[in-house]
Structure 1
Amino acid sequence: MKRKFKIKGKKIIITIREFLTRLNWLYISIIIMIVIGIGILAASYLVNDNDAKNVCVGLGTGIVTSALVSLYIDAINKKVEKNKLFQYKNMLLNPLYNAIKSLYIHISININEYRVREEISGYLLLPMEKTEDLSNFLNELMSYKLEDMVEEKQKKLVNMLCISEIYYRELISQFRGLPLDSLLYENLISHEDYKKLKNFSLINLCMGNLTKISEDGVSEQDEYVLKIQLLHGMMLQMNRILEVFPDMASKIDSENSWIKNNLAEIYYNEIYTNSEEYFEEMMEKMEAEQKYYAEHPDEWENEAEEETEEDRLYRKINKAIWAGNAETIKKCFPEINKDNKQIQSELTWSLAKNVMKDKELRSMYFEKYGEKYKMRKDKRKGLKRKCGLH
């Protein structure tokens, strides 16, 4: 019982001490001065002698006024000091933020483009409250054997891990050079954040991986594993930094909007337009349009007049693909604008497979786009994700 009482007593003393350290004694003294001044002013009403009353009123007014002026000056000084600290903090953190931003954009684009093309749901973007999904995803990739993978799968993973060492080294250098003691002393970070950032285990592991990757004689499989570990470690480290600095996290979060737009465009052009769902949607749309315009021929004529030349060309090529008419497409080819990705997408669609077997048409495609003809792979609705192993 005595021991429990002592422990409770110590906790109470610690709580009182913490409360006293947080108190602003200047404000307390100013409040006391204002109360005294108001008390003197109130007392002046009880004094009958005019001279004594004037003295009380002057004294009370002076005390209250001086206390308010002190309060105002202190508020201005605090604001000036806060601005100085904010500028100092930005000066220290801007190089680190720029290094995080450069590396993060490369990693997030590579990882999420791979996930989109492999039809894995959900984006992996920082900042994260929980990192289990990221860890599970990268640990699964790390378990793959390169020699057992098909060539296309290998190429996708190599492209995903293709990030210059410069970005890694710059972030490591900026983080190691961060004056954490100064940030703590200036109350720019808490003791808890200080301990979190002072843990260099992840950074040291990443630096070790960078050194091993650069060594001679590293096998392709070992290099693959080291690069995934490096990417994983740096993502976790960046997320840890963003947890400590919310301003930095909000800036990174604003970068995610255009990254998501880019990923959505890849999904639409490479996945959705080759899906069974899209095929059925287009069929239903065409049937509905034919039925509608058959009932409203006047509207068809009006809409045809409003169409641009590119719209007419696209419609003509689309119709020729459905009809399997290669000759019509050949006649249209000189008019095609090579920057029109919509028409190129139609020509590489699986439905265009039969017409694009024509050698002359393939030759025209090569001359127009400067690359060999390659049909996009069909993606079926509800198709389960595959890892690419034999």
Structure 2
Amino acid sequence: MPDFYIGLMSGTSLDGVDGVLVDFSPSSPLVIEHACAPFPAPLRAELLALNRSGPDELHRAALAGNELMRQYAAIVGELLHKARAESKDVRAIGAHGQTVRHRPQEFDGTGYTLQLCQPALLAELTGIDVVADFRSRDVAAGGQGAPLAPFFHQSLYGHGQDTVGVLNIGGISNITLLRPDGTILGFDCGPGNALIDNWCARHTGRDYDAEGAWAAGGRLLPALLETLLAEPYFGKPPPKSTGRDLFSQEWLDGQLGRFGDAAPADVQATLTELTAMACARDVLRHEPNLRRLIVCGGGALNGHLMRRIKALLPAAEVASSADWGLPPLQVEATAFAWLARRTVRREPLALQSITGARGARVLGGIYPA
């Protein structure tokens, strides 16, 4: 009998919503259907603006959360239609929401992480139980609240005799290292697509640099790259996580300084190298003999970025997750379906070695339909 869950993911790249309908009755999760949709331009602009303080932001955030749930509900409807399934066939929806602030352990020692999500509205619109707010329990337990996917990565890829790396490149990049003894290390490397996409939109009007072609035509600026890599975050030991709170357009503008007259294509080439080098350095720092790196997220579709990561890790086999059975844009959405199932089953995750939390916790809250 099928064991259906839906996972919905909208990441810091702000490119839209990915949804999957997953059957967990087989030994490995089986994606039955995938649906995606870009954000309407006004919603994308508002979600980006809400990453910064602004006028009437509580009111604006509430309304943006409502609109985001309507986008989520549309994806749910498309998944059900494509699968010829009904709401009653799905046990629960795992809804990540849209991260607009991520400041764990700051200010009062606990800090916070904030994902815009109105799970009660999503349950009302879909007639399906919703699991949401996955990160805050980990933060309450002293953790970073991110990344949460490493245990899901282990369930997919962590069964061999060699260490396997899983690199997710969304708006922010994060690495999971799955060791044959069962231990897992996972943390955020730094910017993924966020700076690359923002710079591309700013100078070309396009939402992203397709295949990394613009960056590939630019010239690397070594002095700028050195300046960017001097950011203290890159040298911090894990557990650590980050977001647009740090790696924002304002951060980049502050770093450009004397490079303000550089050709935009050259800056794009350098930003792409920053993402590649931050990821590669973390692999070499923590697993210098890694032989296999599986890449997912939108960054896996950036041919130039993938070539640069391969060049920086010549000893490793660097391949898209598509080569391992799950397309890059489905991995994180499937992870949140998997997390929702863990929540429904009251199964805790022992994230101490990844997020630094004080112990294993059941993540997320359940909103009945």
TM normalised by structure 2 equals 0.22
**Which has a greater percent of helix?**
1
Higher relative contact order (CA 8 A, sep 6+): 2
Instruction: Find the structure with the greater CA-based Rg.
Output: 1
TM normalised by structure 1 equals 0.21
